[in-house]
Structure formats: C-alpha cells, structure tokens
Amino acid sequence: MASKISGMKVKLYIKDATTGKVLAGQRNATLNRSAESIDATSKDTEGFWTESLQDFKSWSIDADGAFVLMGY
C-alpha cells in the first residue's frame, strides 16, 4: 500500500537533458482520481440494496508552471 505524503513535499519540474539545468518549475498542481463501478444487482440481491463491482480506475495531474529562461 502506498504511503501518504504532504503536497508540500512534492515538486514537478522540467530539466534540460543535455545541460541538467531546470527549465520550468511547478506553481500549483491538482491530482484528479476517479473510479468506476459496475452494477451487479440481481434478483437474488438480499434486501433492497444495490450491489456493485470495482471497475477501471484513472488519475491525472494538472499543473501550472513558471518557465525559467536563464543562460539561453
């Protein structure tokens, strides 16, 4: 199981592969997660409750950055 970390400890940046210089840095970011479910309710379902099964999960990151142009 993955451990939880504070968003303050996470940084996103883009680095030039040839020089190793940082070209851009993160200003803010949003982590989006979603999970779908499949309806598995049948006539044998006990009571009047619905039943569901896990389906696909997805995630994405939206980030704004600051472009740094130094020494180019």
- Residue 9 has φ and ψ, to the nearest 5°, of -95, 5
**How many angstroms separate the CA atoms of 50 and 40, rounded?**
7
| Model confidence, pTM | 0.43
pLDDT at 72 over 60: no
Query: What are 55-65's pLDDT values in tens digits?
Result: 999 998 887 76
Query: What are 42-53's pLDDT values in tens digits?
Result: 888 888 788 899
Tokens of 54: 């896990």
